[in-house]
């Protein structure tokens, strides 16, 4: 019997041949039938007294199949143990009918194994440690953003429209002299320069007065969502019904109080904003550092990811995306999600997860209870009722695992920082916040 040979069908795909002696299978089948006969009930016979011939007629096929399945499984496990194979998922069994004979029944078992992981030399890799200082200019910009969130509008009629004005318009568009779907509307409110409409459309509204009409052409861009209008020129007739100018709140005591500064001190407000920006910058710096560490681990320790795990993670990511869309009120029929959209991310997460698991095992980086508790308490401090947040994390195994995973990743980052070449780079707060965010957690 050649069932101890393991064939390589790819980086992680393996196949073994399983050979079963017919006489052994027959013996096992007969043993099963005798066991059934001991308790079998059939009209006209006392329990356990049904003739074996009848039992064989009734249960023979099933007993044979059960015996075959068990024998295949046992042979497979023997080979797996013999070669210390780490199986991923479930094997696929198929009959090798070409080699079946009176002396043997042969099957193939095809399966995947976990990759061999060798952590590379991180000392050959460089990582940038970003640094930023929060300046008065950053505080001023944030104050301006907050003011714009509290903007109000006041009706005017004594001047022409300017950028930032809120206007009410009626418009009618003609494509090649004809009406088209969505080309006409009344009492439309928009803010000039906000970008809700096409840039050229909004720019054409500048300099108009209340009650005035205007005709102008707009060419729809290449990336416009309505493909029927792409690169087409539409003639619009617009009537301006009303102009509302923006009124920004003054940065004064009342403004400070509205933002939670009870004594109304502007300096205290600025200091609070600076602390918030510093916290946000610290989080982003840590996130970018972690992102680089994880990518470095992948680059230094290239591995193949088992298809079974990639497919499993792809399904999980798709389900999460669907639940997220449903939470936003978007029906699954409105957006078609396909596995291809998630395959690359799934492969990244699987590879990273395997590498991190190996690191944790080799260097004892598992999350310690006191580390998890400290992290949960830190997270809880940003909530109104910290004790409730702490209780929530410890209320279920799943909640606690989320915190444990974060601590584990922090342990890996700390370990890796001692190995890589670290350089520093100073950037502005705006540059830091403008950097793309990538998910690095497993």
Report pLDDT digits (tens) over 352-400. Answer: 999 999 999 999 999 999 999 999 999 998 888 999 999 999 999 988 9
Domain boundary among 226, 247, 268: 247
Q: Are residues 91 and 128 in the same domain?
A: no
The verdict on residue 317 lying in a domain is yes
Tell which phi-psi region holds residue 367, choosing left (phi > 0), alpha (psi between -120 and 50) or beta: beta
CA distance 432 to 402: 27
**How many domains are there within the chain?**
3
Q: Are residues 88 and 165 in the same domain?
A: no
Range of the domain at 231: 152-247
Q: Are residues 362 and 222 in the same domain?
A: no
The verdict on residue 40 lying in a domain is yes
The verdict on residue 145 lying in a domain is no
The verdict on residue 214 lying in a domain is yes
Q: Are residues 328 and 204 in the same domain?
A: no
The residue assigned the tokens 């990639």 is 310
Sign for the CA dihedral angle at 297, 302, 308, 311 comes to positive
The verdict on residue 325 lying in a domain is yes
Q: Are residues 169 and 228 in the same domain?
A: yes
Q: Are residues 23 and 95 in the same domain?
A: yes
Q: Are residues 214 and 361 in the same domain?
A: no
The verdict on residue 254 lying in a domain is no
Q: Are residues 175 and 287 in the same domain?
A: no
The verdict on residue 99 lying in a domain is yes
Q: Are residues 104 and 183 in the same domain?
A: no
**pTM of the predicted protein model:** 0.76
Q: Are residues 128 and 94 in the same domain?
A: no
Per-residue pLDDT of the chain (442 residues; tens, 9 = 90+): 445 688 999 999 999 988 888 888 899 999 999 999 888 888 888 888 888 999 899 999 999 999 999 999 999 999 999 999 999 999 999 988 665 666 678 899 999 999 999 999 999 999 999 999 999 999 999 999 999 999 999 999 899 999 999 999 999 999 999 999 889 999 999 999 999 999 999 999 999 999 999 999 999 999 898 888 999 999 999 999 999 999 999 999 999 999 999 999 999 999 999 999 999 999 999 999 999 999 999 999 999 999 999 999 999 999 988 888 888 887 767 678 899 999 999 999 999 999 999 999 999 999 999 999 999 999 998 888 999 999 999 999 988 999 999 999 999 999 999 999 999 999 999 999 988 877 666 6
Q: Are residues 243 and 367 in the same domain?
A: no
Q: Is 389 exposed, middle or buried (0-12, 13-18, 19+ CB in 10 A)?
A: middle
Provide the CATH number for the domain around residue 424: 1.10.3120.10
The verdict on residue 146 lying in a domain is no
Provide the CATH number for the domain around residue 178: 3.10.50.40
C-alpha closest to that of 350 among 315, 401, 313, 316: 313
Contact between residue 235 and residue 217 where contact means Cβ atoms under 8 Å apart: yes
Q: Are residues 292 and 241 in the same domain?
A: no
Provide the CATH number for the domain around residue 18: 3.30.70.1050
Q: Where are the beta strands (DSSP E) in 140-277?
A: 152-156, 166-175, 184-191, 213-219, 233-247
Contact between residue 277 and residue 139 where contact means Cβ atoms under 8 Å apart: yes
DSSP per-residue codes, 349-360: HHHHHHHHHHHH
């Amino acid at each position: 019997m050649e069932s101890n040979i393991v064939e390589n069908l790819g980086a992680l795909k393996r196949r073994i041949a399983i050979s079963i002696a017919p006489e052994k299978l027959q013996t096992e089948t007969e043993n099963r039938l005798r066991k059934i006969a001991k308790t079998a009930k059939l009209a006209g016979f006392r329990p356990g007294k049904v003739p074996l011939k009848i039992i064989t007629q009734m249960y023979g096929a099933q007993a044979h199949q059960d015996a075959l399945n068990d024998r295949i499984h046992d042979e497979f496990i023997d080979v797996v143990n013999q070669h210390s194979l780490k199986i991923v998922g479930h094997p696929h069994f198929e009959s090798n009918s070409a080699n079946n004979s009176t002396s043997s029944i042969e099957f193939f078992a095809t399966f995947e194994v976990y990759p061999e992981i060798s952590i590379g030399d991180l000392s050959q890799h460089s990582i940038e440690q970003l640094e930023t200082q929060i300046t008065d200019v950053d505080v001023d910009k944030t104050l301006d953003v907050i003011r714009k969130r509290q903007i109000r509008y006041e009706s005017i009629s004594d001047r022409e429209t300017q950028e930032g004005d809120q206007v009410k318009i009626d418009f009618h568009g003609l494509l090649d002299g004809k009406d088209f779907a969505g080309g006409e509307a009344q009492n439309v409110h928009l803010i000039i320069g906000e970008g809700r409409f096409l840039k050229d459309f909004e720019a054409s509204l500048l300099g108009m007065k209340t009650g005035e009409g205007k005709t102008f052409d707009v060419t729809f861009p290449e990336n416009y969502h309505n493909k029927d209008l792409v690169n087409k020129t539409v003639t619009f007739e617009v009537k301006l019904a009303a102009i509302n100018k923006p009124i920004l709140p003054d940065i004064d005591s009342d403004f400070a109080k509205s933002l939670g500064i009870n004594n109304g001190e502007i300096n205290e407000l600025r200091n609070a904003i600076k602390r918030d920006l510093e916290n946000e910058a610290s989080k982003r710096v840590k996130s970018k550092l972690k992102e680089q560490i994880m990518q470095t681990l992948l680059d230094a320790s290239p591995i193949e990811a088992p298809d079974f795990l990639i497919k499993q993670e792809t399904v999980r990511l798709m389900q999460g995306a669907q639940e997220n869309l449903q939470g936003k009120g978007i029906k699954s029929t409105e957006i078609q999600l396909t596995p291809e959209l998630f395959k690359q991310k799934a492969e990244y997460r699987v590879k990273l997860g395997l590498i991190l698991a190996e690191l944790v095992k080799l260097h004892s980086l598992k999350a310690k209870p006191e580390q998890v508790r400290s992290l949960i308490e830190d997270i809880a401090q940003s909530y109104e009722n910290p004790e409730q947040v702490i209780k929530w994390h410890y209320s279920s195994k799943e909640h606690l695992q989320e915190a444990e995973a974060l601590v584990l990743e922090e342990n890996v980052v700390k370990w890796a920082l001692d190995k890589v070449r670290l350089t520093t780079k100073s950037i502005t707060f705006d540059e830091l916040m403008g950097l793309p965010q990538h998910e690095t957690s497993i």
